[in-house]
Amino acid sequence: MFLELKNVCLSRDNFMMDINVYISREICGIFGVSGSGKTSLMHLLSGLERPESGSIVFNGRELVNVGRGRFIPAHRRQVGMVFQESRLFPHMNVRKNLLFGRRYSISERGKPDFDDIVDMLELRCL
């Protein structure tokens, strides 16, 4: 597994992110003080935001290349993001929220059914 961010820039009112990094580890932790760009970085990787410049390549698949006008949208990236706070899509009920990611599953064992998801998340009431 590898991730490469090359000349990736994102700016906000009082914040400028400029990243050049190549990571070739299965597990990588990102840490920093509040406001250092951790969430912004995750938004860039997952496709929730677009950088102003640069490219992002994950496992040989180019997700973003601003210079070439390439941007794979979040729903086609097969990259998941878990937020610290509980978040549900407000226009969907709980069942639809839990089944949402199922359509993007590429599991060789098939897509999990609702009961499997409930059990995995330990949501079943006794």
Give the pairing type, strands 3-12 and 53-58: antiparallel
pLDDT for position 108:
61
Name the pTM for this structure.
0.68
Q: How many CB atoms neighbour CB 62 within 10 A? A: 14
Q: Given the structure tokens 């897509």, which residue do they identify?
A: 111
pLDDT surpassing 80 at residue 4? yes
pLDDT in tens, 65-109: 999 999 999 888 877 776 666 677 788 888 888 888 777 666 666
